[in-house]
């Protein structure tokens, strides 16, 4: 059995990616050789992201070492990060 449910590729990442469907409750995140523990208030689907730490509204969000967007609301640690609280900077018209 896997010892972690989420993966972080770069230390500066603000989010971790689910390696499978993860139920609410305590979850393990692998970041390099370290394993972090977080409480999830809700289940997270395969491939979706959670906040590794609290993220303030307007803050930039990084995944895989790259800027993926900005928070449209305050996001608590362990919370699902998706289109309801993240605005992409990649597909945005200027």
Domain locations along the chain: 6-88
User: What architecture does CATH give domain 6-88?
Assistant: Roll (2.30)
**At CB < 8 A and 24+ separation, what contacts does 56-64 make?**
59/14, 60/89, 61/14, 61/15, 61/86, 62/10, 62/12, 62/13, 62/14, 62/15, 63/13, 63/14, 63/15, 63/17, 64/9, 64/10, 64/13
Residues 49-59 pLDDT 10s: 999 999 999 99
Q: Above 90 in pLDDT, residue 94?
A: no
Q: Above 80 in pLDDT, residue 90?
A: no
Mean pLDDT across 7-30: 96
Nearest to 28 by CA among 62, 2, 61: 2
Residues 2-14 pLDDT 10s: 689 999 999 999 9
pLDDT of residue 89: 76
pLDDT of residue 92: 58
What's the chain's average pLDDT?
Answer: 93
Mean pLDDT across 62-81: 96
């Amino acid at each position: 059995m896997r010892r972690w449910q989420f993966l972080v590729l770069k230390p500066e990442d603000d989010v971790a990616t689910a390696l499978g469907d993860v139920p609410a409750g305590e979850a393990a995140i692998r970041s390099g050789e370290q394993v972090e523990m977080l409480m999830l208030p809700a289940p997270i689907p395969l491939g979706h992201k959670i906040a590794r730490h609290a993220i303030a509204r307007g803050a930039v969000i990084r995944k895989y070492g790259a800027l993926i967007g900005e928070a449209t609301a305050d996001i608590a640690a362990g919370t699902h990060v998706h289109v309801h609280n993240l605005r992409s900077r990649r597909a945005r018209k200027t």
